[in-house]
Chain A
Amino acid sequence: MSKMEIIHSLIDDIPVLTVSGKIDAMTSKDLENALAGLIDNNGNFLVIDMEKVEYLSSSGLRVLMASLNKLKKNQGDLLLAALQPFVKEVFSLTGAIRFFSIYPSHKEAIKSLQR
């Protein structure tokens, strides 16, 4: 069945979620919980490394949009890194790509925050 894994880490004090697998209607709830926990507990900036995300459904995109909006309200941001072509296509098709800061890797995402 569709599986997704989330690894939490803290790189230079910035929370990084490394997500792998498929973000679909089932798994997006887990992602939503993981993000909700981080947004409540931590600072205003979050990085999601999506290098190993092979599929993103509209349910998954909804979760990312909701988290982005929440962070932006606190003058924060949700940075996405290393989108695979299929995932990137979902962002560009729906137009969501305009609202997210997208980086080639989580390292570069973090670097942009330190500037």
Chain B
Amino acid sequence: MANSLISDSLVLLQAVSVIIVAALLISRSRQFNDVIDGKPTTKSQMLLAIFFGMVSIYGSIIGINFLGAIISVRDLGPLVGGLACGPVVGLGAGLIGAAFRISEGGFTAPACSIAAALAGIIGGIIYRRKGRFPGIAFSTAFALLFELFHMLLTLAISQPFDMAMDVVSQAFGPMILANGAGMLIFAFIIENVIRERETMRERDRYQLELQIKKAELVVAADIQKSFLPGKIPSPNGFDIAATSIPAKEVGGDFYDFAMQDGNLQLVIADVSGKGVPAALFMALSRIIVRACSAPLRSGFERLRCANKMIVDESGSDTSGMFVTLFLGRLNLLDRILVYANAGHNPPLLFRADLKSIERMDVTGVALGMMAEMEYEQRQVSLAPGDVLLLYTDGIVEAMNKMEDLFGERRLRSALTAAANLSAQEILDRILRDLAGFAEGVEQSDDITAVVIKVTG
């Protein structure tokens, strides 16, 4: 008795092994994935019903004939079909399994075929109720209980009862064991597939979102580029070059030029932070500074106006956002530069005659920090050969691998070394020195520079 329990169980477990291999294959099929994704077509449901029906038939064929009854894992196919794929697949597989069992005959045929059909139907109803595969523990417990029910059904309707009793006592152990183990492994495979599909769906969703964000940023970057002067002015006697390289797609730096009554108005500015928040604040600040630049206003008036508007309109009070800004008005005839500096990195002025560098110091507080600030304005007189360098902190605060800063000292060296070249060449030299210093360390802040050289 104990021997046959073991040998019968082994036969059934061998059958289960074959079924598992088939299950692994089917779990990779498009039809199965359609069902898992919750959008099964009629065709995939039919194919799956046939597949699980075949699994049931295979279970019958490989089963052990005992006194005209068949000890088998016939119920496993319909059970899994119903639990994992719903009522249609469960019912189909159950009917196929049942029909085959009837064709085999024997005194337990009615009970066993009813059981096969019910396995699929009840499995399908559970799936429908839960809206999904009910999980590993539930499915395995259900399979064990169902086999118990199968045994009781056999006892209840198979005649003669004594023979049914013999069959059940022989079949009880192996069938519960093999169907339970089969379901356990099946359930594992199905759960894996479900989780895999979920992860994939999430990843796809995330990637789609990312793509949309990227596309939006590309548009934003284009819009922001259009804020920069399309053409660098080239007034007589001056050579001008400028560049702005955001650390991310969009940034918080900007520069601006405007020709007005024989004057060149120039602005360089840097909004606190970087990325999208800085870009929004930059767009607002740029418009405000322009709006405040009515022709008659002097530099300090423009800064006072811009500061007040930024504080009033931008919510900088709560966000703490601010913008450092240098603005100048260069008279193209007498080469006098009147400037005001709201907390911006002091521009450097290379003097050709002395070969020395002057700083154009801060004359007031960064814009947006506090309303009602006063700004001073100063002026310098430029001479041929002089080079004016406006820049943002992305240059002096660029870091190398050792986390050293590029610093003003290196910037001054680059400027001095290149001062006799053209404006563009001076700019290139500065950027080259910067790249050489950073040695491939990622740019961490927006970089902007404007070079104005007095040529004659």
Contact = CB atoms under 8 A, between A and B. Distances in A.
Interface of A: 2, 22, 24-25, 28, 55, 57-59, 61-70, 93-96, 98-99
Interface in B64-106: none
- Report, as a range, how many residues of chain B touch the other chain: 20 to 34
A68 B365 CA distance: 16
The A interface is mostly helix, strand or loop, or mixed, namely: helix
B319 A62 contact: yes
Contact of B370 (A28, A57, A63, A99): A99
Given A57-B397, A94-B366, 10 more contacts: A24-B444, A55-B405, A58-B273, A61-B320, A64-B320, A70-B318, A93-B346, A93-B362, A94-B322, A96-B343
Interface in B389-438: 393, 397, 403, 405
Contacts of A67: 320
A62 B281 CA distance: 13
A69 B273 contact: no
Contacts of A25: 273-275, 444-445
A66 B393 contact: no
Nearest to A68: B320
Given A58-B273, A69-B318, A94 B369 contact: yes
Contacts of A55: 397, 405
A106 B38 CA distance: 62
12 contacts: A25-B273, A25-B274, A57-B393, A59-B273, A59-B274, A62-B273, A69-B320, A94-B343, A94-B369, A95-B365, A96-B369, A98-B365
B272 A58 contact: yes
A93 B343 CA distance: 5
Interface in B321-363: 321-322, 324, 342-343, 345-346, 362
Interface centre among B320, B345, B370, B393 (most CB of A within 10 A): B320
A58 B444 contact: no
B270 A58 contact: yes
A13 to B, nearest CB: 26
